């Protein structure tokens, strides 16, 4: 199975290729894609090999064919429904961000405990009450979920998601979730990332002797 | 200099310790903190060593002292101003998310080209016109910036930020930025993360033979 980094780069190649296509670029070479993605040409060739696409040594990669090949590899055969739990500021931004963006991945249900949000449609997505979490997920065969609740609630929500059959969680809460090994968790900790950037921004200055 | 992962974990320990303190927990042992952070006790001890804090073998770590020690290590001596460029859905969510959260890191200026946003105060933060980017950053000594513009504009913004003295960038645009080695860039690519989660959620099921 390809590495996590390789899967991440395939997703990045796709967003780069989509932009190139919009700009009228129809083909490119592995070293060009590598340079745009901050990768090496041999990484690019190895990453793309798992999708079964090789391109032509003379004309390089055909952008449309390569996009289709990455799509067949990365995406579910049919559009995949995603649940989002926690319709606060960050949750709403994620909902707005994904609306209409990825045809293969759609946030199809949101959950919150706030009675002012429940049973409303926000950014085109219905917000259900928290107590309906399990029943909606099972009924709609949702296996991917996004957690945007406060840290203190995240483990409880993760437990409920896993019991309802969820197999992949994108976790924005600053807490390490304990889940079964069969469930994949990716953490996005915005505070941690910003603190890291701030820390290294000062180290760089010190290293330069300022 | 400690590793990027170690800096990230120190930030995570801090958010865990802040929650414990709110719950009335005043001390804990390295193995307890390790378990909450998904790390090993020896990782925790090594990470904390760089902050100069060791704790007591009998009573463990004092939560308040440890928080103060991590803060002295991670944070700038005075509150550090952060600029945010791109006041779209994601930008606004990041602004709302950080408002009043981190006394040591404050978003103090936002930038956008949309005349409906410019010169307004959004989530307590003034939104400046894009053409004032350099002058505001230099005047306010901002060295940390968040990029939440579309991918196609991100490199141009990064170039302008670096010319204005920015030394650390948290980049939400799905593009690899080219910057001088003295500038630290941390990428947060929400689409890539969700696509990775979706991919592995299906692999898990296959691995289980479903």
A58–chain B nearest CA distance, Å: 27
CATH number at residue B66: 1.10.10.10
Contact A108, A82 (CB under 8 A): yes
Q: Return the pLDDT at A76.
A: 79
Question: Given pLDDT bands bounded at 50, 70 and 90, which one contains residue A145?
Answer: very high
Question: Given pLDDT bands bounded at 50, 70 and 90, which one contains residue B100?
Answer: low
> Is B62 an interface residue toward A (CB < 8 Å)?
no
Q: Return the pLDDT at B170.
A: 96
Q: Are residues B135 and B89 in the same domain?
A: yes
* A107 located within any domain: yes
Q: Are residues A90 and A168 in the same domain?
A: yes
pLDDT tens digit string along B1-46?
Answer: 778 888 889 999 998 998 888 888 999 999 999 988 889 999 999 9
**Torsions phi, psi of A186, nearest 5?**
-115, 125
Q: Return the pLDDT at B101.
A: 66
> Is A101 an interface residue toward B (CB < 8 Å)?
yes
Residue A49 pLDDT > 80, yes or no?
Answer: yes
Q: Return the pLDDT at B205.
A: 47
Q: Are residues B31 and B66 in the same domain?
A: yes
> Is A200 an interface residue toward B (CB < 8 Å)?
yes
Closest partner residue to B196 among A11, A101, A202, by Cβ? Answer: A11
Q: Are residues B92 and B180 in the same domain?
A: yes
Q: How far apart are CA A76 and CA A66, in angstroms?
A: 17
**DSSP type of residue B78:** S
* A206 located within any domain: no
Domain boundary among A28, A56, A72: A72
Contact B18, B59 (CB under 8 A): no
Pairing of strands B121-122, B125-129: antiparallel
Q: How far apart are CA A138 and CA A160, in angstroms?
A: 11
Give CA A47 to chain center in angstroms.
18
Q: Return the pLDDT at B176.
A: 87
Residue A207 pLDDT > 60, yes or no?
Answer: no
pTM: predicted TM-score of the whole model, two decimal places: 0.80
Residue A102 pLDDT > 70, yes or no?
Answer: no
Element (H, E) at B2: none
DSSP A157-194: HHHHHHHTT--EEEE-SSSPPP--TTSEEEE--HHHHH
Residue A78 pLDDT > 80, yes or no?
Answer: no
Q: Return the pLDDT at B59.
A: 86
Q: Return the pLDDT at B80.
A: 84
Judging contacts by C-beta atoms under 8 Å, the chain A residues touching residue B198 are 74-76, 80, 82, 105, 144, 168
Range of the domain at B33: 4-72
Question: Given pLDDT bands bounded at 50, 70 and 90, which one contains residue B67?
Answer: very high
Mean pLDDT of chain A: 88
Residue A50 pLDDT > 60, yes or no?
Answer: yes
Residue B186 pLDDT > 50, yes or no?
Answer: yes
Q: Which two tokens stand for residue A14?
A: 């796709």
Judging contacts by C-beta atoms under 8 Å, the chain B residues touching residue A174 are 12, 15-16
Question: Given pLDDT bands bounded at 50, 70 and 90, which one contains residue B206?
Answer: very low
Averaged pLDDT, A85-91? 91
Closest to B106 (Cα-Cα) out of B71, B78, B134 = B78
Asked if the Cβ–Cβ distance from B188 to A183 is below 8 Å, we say no
Pairing of strands A121-122, A125-129: antiparallel
pLDDT tens digit string along B120-174?
Answer: 999 889 999 999 999 999 999 999 999 999 888 999 999 999 999 999 999 999 8
Q: Within the 161-190 window of chain A, which residues sit less than 8 Å (CB to CB) from chain B?
A: 166-170, 174-176, 182-186, 188-190
Q: How far apart are CA A87 and CA A102, in angstroms?
A: 20
Closest partner residue to A90 among B80, B97, B203, by Cβ? Answer: B97
pLDDT tens digit string along B84-94?
Answer: 999 988 898 88
Averaged pLDDT, A166-176? 92
Closest to B124 (Cα-Cα) out of B96, B90, B149, B103 = B96
Q: Return the pLDDT at A101.
A: 66
Q: Are residues A65 and A101 in the same domain?
A: no
Residue A174 pLDDT > 90, yes or no?
Answer: no
CA dihedral (A9, A15, A17, A23) positive or negative: negative
What SS3 state is found at B205? helix
Averaged pLDDT, B92-102? 78
Length of chain A: 210
Judging contacts by C-beta atoms under 8 Å, the chain A residues touching residue B200 are 4, 7, 167-168, 184
**Residue B170 to residues A85, A206, B10, B85, Cα–Cα distance (Å):** 25, 20, 18, 11
ipTM for this prediction? 0.82
Closest partner residue to B188 among A166, A188, A204, by Cβ? Answer: A188
* B28 located within any domain: yes
Residue A121 pLDDT > 90, yes or no?
Answer: yes
pLDDT winner (highest mean) among A110-114, A151-155, B94-98:
A110-114
CA dihedral (A94, B149, B125, B170) positive or negative: positive
B119–chain A nearest CA distance, Å: 22
CATH number at residue A185: 3.40.50.720
* B210 located within any domain: no
pLDDT tens digit string along A23-44?
Answer: 889 999 999 999 888 899 999 9
Q: Within the 103-132 window of chain B, which residues sit less than 8 Å (CB to CB) from chain A?
A: 105
Q: Return the pLDDT at A209.
A: 34
Asked if the Cβ–Cβ distance from B196 to A38 is below 8 Å, we say no
Averaged pLDDT, A77-82? 83
Judging contacts by C-beta atoms under 8 Å, the chain A residues touching residue B108 are none
Cβ burial A96-128 (10 Å sphere, 16+ → b, else e): bbbeeebeebbbbbbbbeeeebbeeebbebebb
B131–chain A nearest CA distance, Å: 24
Judging contacts by C-beta atoms under 8 Å, the chain B residues touching residue A175 are 15-16, 36
Q: Are residues B93 and B130 in the same domain?
A: yes
* B198 located within any domain: no
Domain boundary among A72, A96, A130: A72
Asked if the Cβ–Cβ distance from B198 to A76 is below 8 Å, we say yes
Number of structural domains chain A divides into: 2
């Amino acid at each position: 199975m390809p590495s996590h980094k390789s899967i991440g780069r395939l997703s990045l190649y796709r967003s780069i290729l989509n932009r190139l296509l919009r700009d009228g670029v129809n083909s490119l070479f592995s070293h060009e894609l590598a340079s745009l993605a901050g990768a090496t040409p041999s990484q690019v060739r190895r990453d793309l090999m798992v999708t079964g696409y090789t391109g032509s040594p003379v004309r390089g990669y055909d952008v449309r064919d390569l996009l289709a090949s990455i799509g067949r590899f990365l995406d579910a055969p049919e559009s995949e429904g995603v649940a989002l739990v926690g319709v606060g500021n960050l949750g709403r931004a994620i909902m707005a961000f994904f609306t209409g963006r990825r045809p293969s991945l759609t946030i199809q249900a949101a959950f919150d405990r706030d009675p002012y949000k429940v049973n409303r449609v926000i950014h085109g997505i219905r917000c259900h009450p928290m107590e309906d979490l399990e029943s909606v997920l099972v009924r709609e065969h949702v296996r991917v979920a996004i957690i945007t609740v406060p840290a203190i609630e995240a483990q409880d929500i993760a437990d409920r998601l896993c019991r309802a059959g969820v197999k992949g969680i994108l976790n924005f809460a600053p807490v390490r979730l304990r889940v079964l090994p069969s469930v994949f968790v990716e953490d996005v900790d915005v505070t941690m990332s910003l603190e890291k950037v701030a820390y290294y921004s000062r180290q760089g200055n010190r290293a330069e002797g300022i």
